[in-house]
Chain A
């Protein structure tokens, strides 16, 4: 149940509808995004099946912020943890059906656009420059928003980051999970 919400629901059409919910700037933004070709298909970064180079930068910045103090502690002991999390998120996205992938693509593309970040996320720094407090404030803003689409975006990002992180045995200590019962592991893998 923690696996990511695929469609964050941010279709361009829904974005235009946001205008009627109260934020005219968002409607303009949706149109501009489409006119400026912002939803051009992004090509996957080297070593990835779905995530683009920009997505990777964004998720690398969000992983510690979405998962909190357990992340830094686990990452300090396991240098590969962050890259494994990215690979796992990529594997999840790559296995979604095309309709869900299309929604996710739109969300990621919009998040990669600084004008969108300034208007909708409350910051315009690049993902790799933004301070953790800034990113926390962004996640909190989308969580508290009265606009369902932002709530959906929040959930999608937090769930992807959570699935990439908490699925790793390196985090078991932080989740009090002893792993599968030792007797069964040894009996079955003998």
Chain B
């Protein structure tokens, strides 16, 4: 069955899509609005701004890959072509592995389709502590609804795969909260390869929804094009310098593009957007750019079950638990599971040599829980910091306070208890000192004694948030409550970097809703201006 390749047809039908690696001469480009980045924020903004009749130019540093490229469902191809730094990005000290997308469609091309609204508690916290305005739950609800409809977001109606179902079973047994995950899919084949690009265009990523719609209405897309530097003149951005990248989308070819626009929208994601502003020496009187980068730090536990789990197949995430998300004291965390294809899984066990070979020989019986720490809500958790190196490349520093370590330890405990309740034969924390424990009692004692240290605990992040905080108070915020840059009139940030804390839920739907809200406001102001 041939899957209709949207881009072959669209480009044949006249879409304006260009590959900057093929350019041989410098150019000057003009547009009403230029959007840097084509992920959750950039894609959402593109559709709205184009539909408002504006002439939009979208820039993306990654390549254009489509469903035809994803048919092999191959991990190595996916991780090396669709992710920032070939999925090898980490915090500056190497302690946390960072997963972010880098292709037309951004991280939405590789995300796992979990689509949850911003929790009311989080919105309230942003209003109260960060002075973000017009984000009452009732004010945000229409934006969530709009994007849920746009992207086909519905609770997953098929049976969860067993990796997810065992999280459900354990929670059920212990009488703790669990729920079915809403996913942004239409006609999903339940394959499980969302992280490598959906081969059947079922995932409603920006690649197959908003970007084609904007291209159909005349937007121009230039990929292999890295925004390098904004030029500030007075309280305006006058120009953006863009480097064309080679066919591999790695090194500059030497061709430089200068882009002039009425308005500049930054949507490069929560590491690259602040880095671009820092590289550009953007006005930042209170040194707020890059501060408070939250990452939902993730730890995990690996369980073995007697019956096969086959966690490499089936929709990757369909069940979650919020039982531990809002505790009376200490950091809260959300529980989910990851997909378990071999390349991704081989690092989870924390073993090497013959022990790793043994662990991998029972991968089909492994079940893995992960916990996402709700960082950024407490004085002892203020996120990390994005800075740039001497050449302007982004670097993320992130430290763990005792407050966070305490949460990570409690999370190992919660996850192990749920796995034993679901019938696990043994459970191992993903930690260099983790062993296979054969009972909840043994696990509880051992986890209580685990050294909670960087480099020993295996830590991950796939959710980058913050670094260009929104809010009305210029002392703390980089952009206003609608994403407009405080220090320059014609610049907005429309991506995950505007959030003042982590979300406490997987971020994509929050980014879609805030981006739709802020892009609509921007379209209005540009039309009337």
Contact = CB atoms under 8 A, between A and B. Distances in A.
Contact of B89 (A2, A100, A152): A100
A7 B92 contact: yes
A94 B394 CA distance: 17
Contact of B395 (A99, A155, A166): A99
A166 B88 contact: no
A139 B97 CA distance: 20
A52 interface: no
Q: Is the interface on chain B under 10, 10 to 19, 20 to 34, or 35 or more residues?
A: 35 or more
A9 B89 CA distance: 13
Interface string B61-104: 00000000001110110011000111111101111010100000
B357 A70 contact: yes
A96 B86 contact: yes
Interface stretch (A30-38, A118-126, A176-184): A176-184
Contacts of B344: 1-3
Given A68-B354, A103-B94, A184 B363 contact: no
Interface in A72-94: 88, 91-94
A64 to B, nearest CB: 9
Contact of B88 (A6, A152, A175): A6
B353 A136 contact: yes
Interface in B451-465: 453-456, 458, 460
A172 interface: yes
Nearest to A103: B94
Residue among A4, A88, A136, A189 with the most chain B CB within 10 A?
A: A4
Q: Is the interface on chain A under 10, 10 to 19, 20 to 34, or 35 or more residues?
A: 35 or more
A117 to B, nearest CB: 18
Given A162-B347, A171-B342, A177 B71 contact: no
Given A92-B86, A100-B85, A167-B75, A188 B199 contact: yes
Interface in B251-291: none
B342 A166 contact: yes
A134 interface: no
A65 B356 CA distance: 10
B361 A176 contact: yes
Contacts of B458: 1
A162 B343 CA distance: 7
Contacts of B250: 94-95
A3 B71 CA distance: 22
A6 B97 CA distance: 8
Contacts of B357: 67-71, 174
Nearest to A136: B353
A155 B342 contact: no
Given A3-B86, A100-B88, A151 B97 contact: no
A188 B3 contact: yes
Interface string A155-167: 1101100110111
Residue among A8, A148, A158, A175 with the most chain B CB within 10 A?
A: A175
B352 interface: yes
Nearest to B91: A7
A109 B80 CA distance: 24
Contacts of A148: 93, 453-456
B461 to A, nearest CB: 10
B346 A65 contact: no
Contacts of A178: 312
B200 interface: yes
A98 interface: yes
Contacts of A4: 88
A8 B72 CA distance: 32
Interface of B: 1-3, 71-73, 75-76, 79-80, 84-90, 92-95, 97, 99, 189, 191, 193, 199-200, 250, 312-313, 338, 341-348, 352-358, 360-365, 389, 391, 393-395, 432, 453-456, 458, 460
Interface of A: 1-9, 65-71, 88, 91-100, 103, 136, 139, 143, 148-149, 151-152, 154-156, 158-159, 162-163, 165-168, 171-172, 174-178, 180-181, 184-185, 187-190
Given A3-B344, A152-B94, A180-B73, 6 more contacts: A9-B92, A9-B94, A65-B352, A65-B353, A91-B86, A168-B76
25 contacts: A1-B344, A1-B348, A1-B458, A2-B344, A6-B85, A6-B90, A6-B94, A7-B92, A9-B92, A67-B352, A67-B357, A91-B86, A93-B88, A95-B86, A98-B393, A100-B85, A149-B455, A152-B95, A156-B94, A168-B76, A174-B357, A176-B360, A177-B363, A188-B1, A190-B1
- Which 6 pairs of residues, A with B, have the shortest CB-CB distance? A2-B347, A68-B357, A95-B86, A180-B73, A151-B455, A176-B364
